[in-house]
Amino acid sequence: MDGMVYAALAYSTIPKGRITAIDVAAAESAPGVVLVMTHRNAPRLTDPAEIFAAGADPAAGDDLPIMQDDQIHWNGQPIAVVLAETQEQADHATSLIRAGYESEPTATAFDEAKAHGTQVATFLGTPLSEESGDAEVALAAAPHVVDHVYTTPRHNHNAIELHAATLAWDGDELTVRDCTQGVRVLARMLAGFFGIPEEQVHVTAPYVGGGFGGKGIWQHQVLAAAAARLARRPVRIVLSREGVYRLIGGRAPTEQRVAIGADADGRFEALIHTGTTAKTEHNFLAEPFIMSSQCLYAARTRKLKARSVNLDMVPEHVHAGARRGRRQLRA
CB-based contacts of 94, cutoff 8 Å, min separation 6: 8, 9, 10, 27, 80, 82
Task: Tell me how far apart the alpha carbons of residues 240 and 266 are, in angstroms, rounded to a whole number.
Answer: 50
Domain extent listing, the chain:
5-104+160-210+215-247, 110-155+250-330
pTM, to two decimals? 0.89
- Alpha carbon separation from 95 to 10, 25, 136 (Å, rounded): 8, 12, 56
What does DSSP say about strands 164-170 and 5-11: parallel, antiparallel, or unpaired?
Answer: unpaired
Instruction: Calculate helix-pair angle for 183-194, 219-231, nearest 10 degrees.
Output: 50
Assess contact for 74 and 312: CB atoms under 8 A. Answer: yes
- Pairwise CA distance, residues 9 & 94, whole Å: 7
Taken in order 79, 82, 88, 92, the sign of the CA dihedral is negative
Give CA–CA dist 182/193, Å, rounded. Answer: 16
pLDDT of residue 330: 34
Comparing CA positions, the residue from 211, 212, 237 lying closest to residue 224 is 237
Which regions in the chain score pLDDT beneath 50? 318-331
Query: Dihedral of CA 312/317/321/322: which sign?
Result: positive
**Residues in contact with 21: Cβ distance below 8 Å, sequence separation at least 6, in sequence order:** 98, 99, 100
According to CATH, what is the number of the domain 5-104+160-210+215-247? 3.90.1170.50
Q: How far apart are CA 3 and CA 255, in angstroms?
A: 50
pLDDT of residue 316: 63
The CATH number of 110-155+250-330 is which of 3.30.70.1050, 3.40.50.970, 3.40.50.150, 3.30.365.10? Answer: 3.30.365.10
Model confidence pLDDT, tens digit, residues 11-65: 999 999 999 999 999 999 999 999 999 999 999 999 988 887 776 565 566 788 9
Residues linked to residue 297 through DSSP beta bridges, in sequence order: none
DSSP conformation class of 316: P
Say how far apart CA 151 and CA 164 lie, in whole Å. Answer: 32
For residues 191 and 201, the answer to whether their CB atoms sit within 8 Å is yes
pLDDT recorded at residue 331: 32
CB-based contacts of 60, cutoff 8 Å, min separation 6: 48, 189, 216, 217, 218
pLDDT in the model for residue 314: 83
